[in-house]
Structures are given as C-alpha cells and as structure tokens.
Amino acid sequence: MELPARSSSSSGGSDSLSPPSIAGSSNEQPPPPSAASAGPSAVAAGRHQLSRYESQKRRDWNTFLQYLRNHKPPLSLSRCSGAHVIEFLRYLDQFGKTKVHGQGCAFFGQACPPGPCPCPLRQAWGSLDALIGRLRAAYDESGGSPEANPFAVRAVRIYLREVRDAQAKARGIPYQKKKRKRPPPVPAAGSAGGSSAGAAAGASSSSSVS
C-alpha cells in the first residue's frame, strides 16, 4: 500500500492524504442547485462540486478496502467492526499535518506557538470526521446493512469526540459547535381559518341585532 511520507509542516488545519485525500470538514453531501433557481454557471459549479465529493468518496473507500486486504490477518468487510475503523484512523495519523502538543510541551494549549517543538503531527479532527462521513455513505451505497455499518457505531463517535476535545486543549483552539437556526413557527391553517370565520360570525350577529 503506497502512501505519502509524513509532512514536516507544523501548522494546524485540515489535512491532506492521498490515498485517501482527506479534504474538508463536512460529512454531508453538498446538494446540487436546482436548474430553476440557478443559472447555467451555478448548475455547472454544483455538478463539479458533487463530482469532487463522489471522487473523494470513491478514493477513500478504495483505500479502506486496500487497508483491510493488507491487514494482518486480512479482514473482510463483513467482519469489519468499529474497533477496526478506529485502528484505521490511528494508522492515518502518521500522514497527518496538524501539530498536536503533548501535556509536557511548553507550547501545550497555545494556539500560536513561538517556535518549533518535537511533538507529533496528527490528522486534524475535522478531517477525520469528514472522512468517516464519506466512508459511512460509501458503505451504505455498497449494499451494506445500515444496522451493521461499522462507521456509524457508537465507539467511532466516542473516539472522534475524544480526538476533538484532546486537540482543542492541546492546540488552544476551543471547539465551538455551530448553532442551527430554527425556522419561525408557521401558523396552522385551521386556526387562522377558524379565527376569521369567528370574526365574520360575530360581525353578522351584531349587524342583525342592530
């Protein structure tokens, strides 16, 4: 299994691995824009973005299958568990580009360290999270049962959360969860109709009394 040598860069950020090339930090497939609401250029850009996502997902999936074949002893996909997925993520750390300071390092917890240190390079949490999202989708698309998806098990989610928290402390960059904007409540059609009907009935009764 040919993989690139580990980079000596000490800066943080999203990692790149080929194969698999870990890109981005979103694990959701970008929806293509509709032709009715977007012009030809926007539609073409959406298709290109979707094509990049699919190509990346295919590369990630092929790399994971190759990892299973090279595993000692070799593993079949049907016997793959969450523990093997976590083992795969730890294996990818050797190709990471994000400096993660140890607790004994003088730069531990500093977002912008003033100098170099011997702390190891790791895969950034956002890159691993995006990778798992693509592999989870690829497993479902390959015909696997959603209940048996090793990328969606609780152990993998716990591992990613631990990596996120550890890297946030080590790099001095707190993780901030994005808040989803809730849409304003839509009034029920029945209540609006009932109130208008009641108002009309009241108006007619008052006119008849007068």
Query: pLDDT of 53-88, one tens digit each?
Result: 999 999 999 999 999 999 999 999 999 999 999 999
* Residue 144 lies inside a defined structural domain of this protein: yes
Residue 11 lies in a domain: no
Per the CB < 8 A criterion, the answer to whether 84 and 148 are in contact is: no
The structure's pTM equals 0.63
The whole-chain average pLDDT of the chain stands at: 77
Domain span at residue 99 reads 40-176
Q: Mean per-residue pLDDT for 135-161?
A: 95
- Domain membership of residue 201 (yes or no) is no
Question: Burial, 132: exposed, middle or buried (Cβ in 10 Å; 0-12, 13-18, 19+)?
Answer: buried
**β partners of residue 99:** 121
d(CA 150, CA 144): 10
| Domains held by the chain: number | 1
C-alpha 62/C-alpha 208 separation (Å) is 80
Q: Is residue 49 a part of any domain in this protein?
A: yes
